[in-house]
């Protein structure tokens, strides 16, 4: 491999000749051989956005330092970063400095060297030009918020909406299907299948509202606070200008955080938003479990619904098909709920003027958003969309349920209804037979008040 020599304040470093990163990136690359979890691409894209926005703001406020030539070079490089053309030039792992300084410098060096290569001259300096009016301490939390908002608005919310649309269709298709309800994994009173699906829909719509409520705080940016929140070395008005530029570049309404001291040290907005994702994960666990229980069988389970058969389920049992999409969705839920612990613990480490657990926090946050988005898409397209009700099985289970005796409470009382159910179970006879045998109602009276389908 061929190398070139790059320099920083600590001296010279050999860097691969075909890479745009510089000495500080190389030091981090060599010093943090920990795991294989690279900085998420969403953060890299966000750095491209914020560095271009900063250059635009600096051009307006400090034109003598940010010349048009420098702005053009930075903008061109940032566009390449945003487009994903330079992903191979961002090699750093999550397990680095807790402020994300090395990833900020990775962005500064790549943008500067790419811009210089395109300009054919040493036009840009990574610190003096690309990092002008900024600090790692305000750029990394800004990148976190940009990436989080983008992941939620552009990926997760649309998949939640698609899932809700599927559930609405299933509600309409199953409005006439009445089945046995179940509580405590035991038979309960009747419910329409559409009502059960409506419950599932609420399990998606409620955390969606929670995520929407989290977005305004996530759209507040730390940029402009520089090192400790005072805005040292940034021109007056830079924070407002750069937030406006980020908004224009992303098409999302970002604003500057009015309290930069809070913005640098606290990560409560991310904790709040991830809490909504945890709620979604918990609800998806419930939906996926309901689906696989209802589809259990095909002969020895509940068997009240059919789900798509996507692949063989066993290497030894021919013809076996498993609820694999449900299992994948529940594993996603477990990971997201586990990630919430890491997010919460990382957010608690805001010591004095800076939180120094930011890379691990955003790594887990973005993994959760990505897993939920992909998991919802897969679960919807490969399972839920193809659910069909086995109405005959539902009817059979319904009419075999002893809890239909609840309909008799107003007519014979709770205690007599309980005696009826226990006799029917003990002697394996129908509720009607038990009720008549005990002398609580005549056959005609029983038929007049006992209508299971109307109980839903």
Token representation of residue 313: 């389920």
Strands 305-306, 350-351: pairing is: unpaired
Contact 365, 371 (CB under 8 A): no
Which residue of the set 103, 125, 184, 411 is catalytic? 184
- By CB neighbour count within 10 A (0-12 exposed, 13-18 middle, 19+ buried), where does 385 fall? middle
Distance CA 97, CA 183 (A): 50
Contact 326, 291 (CB under 8 A): yes
Distance CA 145, CA 270 (A): 8
Distance CA 431, CA 437 (A): 10
Distance CA 110, CA 385 (A): 45
Catalytic annotation on 180? Answer: no
Which residue of the set 247, 314, 315, 344 is catalytic? 314
Token representation of residue 256: 């500057």
Among 435, 21, 56, smallest CA distance to 238 is for 56
Q: Which residue has the tokens 């299933």?
A: 170
Q: Which residue has the tokens 């955080």?
A: 257
Strands 220-221, 255-256: pairing is: parallel
Contact 103, 43 (CB under 8 A): yes
> From the DSSP assignment, how many helices (H) and strands (E) are in the chain?
17, 10
What dihedral angle (degrees, nearest 10) is formed by the CA atoms of 361, 367, 369, 375?
Answer: -160
Catalytic annotation on 314? Answer: yes
A 10 A CB-CB count for 319 gives 8
Q: Could you list the active site residues?
A: 184, 314
């Amino acid at each position: 491999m061929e190398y070139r020599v790059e320099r920083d304040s600590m001296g010279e470093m050999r860097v691969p000749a075909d890479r745009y990163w510089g000495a500080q990136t190389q030091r981090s690359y060599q010093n943090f051989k920990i795991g294989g979890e690279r900085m998420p691409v969403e953060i890299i894209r966000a750095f491209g956005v914020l560095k271009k926005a900063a250059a635009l703001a600096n051009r307006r406020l400090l034109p003598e330092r940010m010349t048009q030539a420098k702005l053009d070079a930075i903008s061109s490089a940032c566009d390449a970063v945003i487009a994903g053309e330079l992903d191979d030039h961002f090699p750093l792992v999550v397990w680095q400095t807790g402020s994300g300084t090395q990833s900020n410098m990775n962005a500064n060096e790549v943008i500067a060297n790419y811009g210089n290569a395109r300009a054919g001259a040493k036009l840009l300096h990574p610190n003096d030009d690309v990092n002008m009016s900024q600090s790692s301490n305000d750029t990394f939390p800004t990148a976190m918020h940009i990436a989080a908002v983008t992941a939620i608005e552009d990926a997760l919310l649309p998949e939640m909406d698609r899932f809700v649309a599927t559930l609405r269709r299933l509600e309409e298709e199953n409005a006439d299907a009445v089945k046995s309800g179940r509580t405590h994994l035991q038979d309960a009173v009747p419910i329409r299948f559409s009502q059960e699906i409506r419950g599932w829909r609420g399990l998606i719509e409620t955390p969606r509202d929670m995520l929407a409520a989290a977005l305004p705080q996530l759209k507040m940016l730390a940029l402009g606070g520089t090192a400790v929140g005072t805005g040292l070395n940034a021109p007056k008005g830079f924070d407002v200008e750069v937030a406006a530029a980020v908004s224009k570049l992303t098409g999302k309404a970002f604003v500057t955080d009015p309290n930069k001291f809070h913005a640098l040290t606290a990560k409560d907005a991310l904790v709040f938003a991830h809490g909504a994702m945890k709620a979604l994960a918990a609800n998806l666990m419930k939906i996926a479990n309901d689906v696989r229980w209802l589809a259990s069988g095909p002969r020895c389970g509940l068997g009240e619904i059919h789900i798509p058969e996507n692949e063989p389920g066993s290497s030894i049992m021919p013809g076996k098909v498993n609820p694999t999409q449900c299992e994948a969705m529940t594993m996603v839920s477990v990971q997201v709920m586990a990630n919430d612990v890491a997010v919460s613990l990382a957010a608690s480490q805001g010591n004095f003027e800076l939180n120094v657990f930011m890379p691990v926090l955003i790594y887990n946050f973005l993994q959760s958003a990505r897993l939920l988005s992909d998991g919802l898409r897969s679960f919807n397209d490969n399972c839920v969309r193809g659910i069909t009700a086995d109405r005959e099985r539902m009817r059979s289970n319904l009419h075999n349920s002893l809890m239909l005796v609840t309909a008799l409470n107003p007519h014979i009382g709770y205690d007599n209804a309980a005696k009826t159910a226990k006799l029917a179970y003990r002697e394996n006879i129908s509720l009607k037979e038990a009720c008549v045998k005990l002398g609580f109602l005549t056959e005609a009276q029983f038929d007049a008040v006992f209508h299971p389908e109307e109980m839903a």
